[in-house]
Amino acid sequence: MKPLMFIFLIVALSFAKGEEQPSALLSALLNKEFEDINADLDVLKKDMDEKSKRDTEIVPEPEESWTGKWFPEVTAASSKKPSAAPASGTDGNNMWQMINSTCDDGKQNLTVDWQPNNRDYECDGPYLEPDPSVKATLEQEYIPAAYVARHVCMKSEIPYDQPLPTFGPHRPAWARYGEYTFLPIQRFLHNMEHGGVIMLYHPCTHPALVNKLKKIVKSCLYRHVISASRLVPQDKPLALMTWGWRLLLPNVDTSLAVQFIREHALHGYEKTHRDGFYDQLLVSPAEVVSTPDDQEICPRYKGV
């Protein structure tokens, strides 16, 4: 029997006997019961106070710990307010405000990225012979989800830690799409960020192989850039590159090239099909294949 019910029973019996005052036993039981109730209330109040404190406690957010190269100072997940747009002539991420004669218009101070007397597009030896034992390689570079490539004005050089980077800082004014005699990395990286496909070939690659791959690229999409480059390895002298991806080929494999373009084109961080500003050594501008925004990629290769 519960204590309160027992107490009520004693009270009822007392009144039944005609007692006007509760017995000593009843008084003791009542005092004990009230003490227990007060103790329970104290415990409950303490628990509620602790819960309220936990719910309202402000836990500081963890600080950014990334110190990798080219990582933005403020990520998309940061609670800090975004900085104001960069002033004219300073580096930043707002490319539209940076494309000007003070920062970069694609026309001035171009020798910062490339000296014309370097002749990086000329072959100084015999044509390279494809080695049947060398296999094509597909390479992916890890790009952090919050990564934002920095746009750098022409007052500063942009070094890279590998010969053929697939992402990184670049110039605000990207290149016009099409075929070039030579195009610096600092330009075509921006085209890759816009979803473009870059075809590079070693200058000593046999012209028949170069022309075959050119035909594939030009017939697959409007957003393409083609250029010679000594940075392409001689054992795999043909390269297709997109934002974060690189395919190195010892020979032309039509099926592999078309598959790469279909899977990796148009996946850059900045998605725009607008043509660029830089056109030094542009041989032939790109032509629209399906639509200006390349709604259908490689339409001529239905069976591939």
Q: pLDDT digits over 109-136, tens only?
A: 999 999 888 888 999 999 999 999 999 9
User: Average pLDDT, stretch 215-230?
Assistant: 98
Domain membership flag for residue 59: no
Position 11 pLDDT exceeds 60: no
91-to-40, 52, 153 alpha-carbon distances in Å: 65, 47, 6
User: Average pLDDT, stretch 53-59?
Assistant: 46
Environment class of residue 132 by beta-carbon count within 10 Å: exposed (0-12), middle (13-18) or buried (19+)? exposed
Residue numbers of the domain that contains 130: 115-285
Domain membership flag for residue 167: yes
Domain membership flag for residue 131: yes
The count of residues in the chain is: 304
Question: For position 113, what pLDDT does the model report?
Answer: 96
Instruction: Provide the domain count of the chain.
Output: 1
Position 89 pLDDT exceeds 80: no
Question: For position 14, what pLDDT does the model report?
Answer: 57
Position 166 pLDDT exceeds 90: yes
User: Average pLDDT, stretch 183-208?
Assistant: 97
Torsion of CA 292, 297, 298, 303, to 10 degrees: -150
Q: Are 191 and 272 in contact (CB under 8 A)?
A: no
Select, from the ranges 61-70, 119-128, 273-282, the one with the highest average predicted confidence (pLDDT): 273-282
Q: At 218, is the secondary structure helix, strand, or coil?
A: helix
Domain membership flag for residue 109: no
Question: For position 22, what pLDDT does the model report?
Answer: 53
- pTM score of the predicted model: 0.70
Domain membership flag for residue 106: no
Question: For position 118, what pLDDT does the model report?
Answer: 81
Domain membership flag for residue 21: no
Query: Whose CA is closest to 302, among 255, 265, 266?
Result: 255
Position 15 pLDDT exceeds 70: no
Q: Are 154 and 261 in contact (CB under 8 A)?
A: no
Give the model's confidence band at 86: pLDDT under 50 very low, under 70 low, under 90 confident, else very high: very low
Position 69 pLDDT exceeds 60: no
Query: Whose CA is closest to 282, among 171, 181, 172, 184?
Result: 181
Position 151 pLDDT exceeds 80: yes
Pairing between strand 224-228 and 197-201? parallel
Alpha-carbon span 174 to 187, nearest angstrom = 5
Give the model's confidence band at 70: pLDDT under 50 very low, under 70 low, under 90 confident, else very high: very low
Question: For position 85, what pLDDT does the model report?
Answer: 38
**Burial 96-116, CB ≥16 within 10 A → b, else e:** ebbbeeebbbbeeebebbbee
User: Average pLDDT, stretch 72-84?
Assistant: 33
- What share of the chain has pLDDT > 90, as a percent? 62
Domain membership flag for residue 224: yes
Mean pLDDT of the chain: 82
Domain membership flag for residue 268: yes
Position 222 pLDDT exceeds 70: yes
Position 100 pLDDT exceeds 50: yes
Query: Whose CA is closest to 276, among 92, 95, 94, 70?
Result: 95
Question: For position 49, what pLDDT does the model report?
Answer: 65
Question: For position 235, what pLDDT does the model report?
Answer: 97
Question: For position 36, what pLDDT does the model report?
Answer: 67
User: DSSP label at 211?
Assistant: H
User: Average pLDDT, stretch 129-146?
Assistant: 95
Alpha-carbon span 138 to 160, nearest angstrom = 20
Alpha-carbon span 198 to 189, nearest angstrom = 9
